[in-house]
Structure 1
Amino acid sequence: MSESDAKGLWSGRFSEATDAFVAAFSASEHYDRRLYREDIRGSRAHARMLADCGIISADDGAAIDAGLQAIEAEIEAGGFPWDPALEDVHMNIEARLTQRIGEAGKRLHTGRSRNDQIATDIRLWLRTVIDGNLALLRRFQAGLVDLAEREVDTVMPGFTHLQVAQPVSFGHHMLAWYEMLVRDESRLHDVRRRANEMPLGSAALAGTTFPIDRDQTCAALGFDAPTRNSLDAVSDRDFAIEFVSAAALTMTHLSRMAEELVIWASPLTGFIDLPDRFCTGSSIMPQKKNPDVAELVRGKSARVQGALHTLLTLMKGQPLAYNRDNQEDKEPLFDAADALRDSLRAFADMVPA
Structure 2
Amino acid sequence: MVNRNYSVIRQRNSTVYQFYFDRVSITTITTEEKILKDIKSSDKIEFIFLVHKYMEKLVFTVLLILTSVMILGCSQKSPEKDNLSSGQINHQSNINQDNSNVTSENTLPNETVPVSNESDEMGNDEFRDFNEEEDEFSDVDELDEMGDEFGDLDSLDEGIEDNQEDEIYDPFEGYNRTMTDLNDGLYLYILDPVASGYAYVVPEGGRKGVSNFIDNLFYPIRLVNNILQAKFYCAGKETLRFVINCTIGILGIFDPAEDWFGIEPCVEDFGQTLGFWGVGPGPHFVLPFLGPSNFRDMFSLYPDSFYDLIARIKPLERQVLFRAFKAVNTTSLHLGEYQLFKKDAYDYYLFFRDAYEQNRQKLIEE
Tell me the TM-score range normalised by the shorter chain. Answer: under 0.3
Q: Give the TM-score normalised by structure 2.
A: 0.20
Whose Rg is larger? 2
TM-score where L is the length of structure 1: 0.21
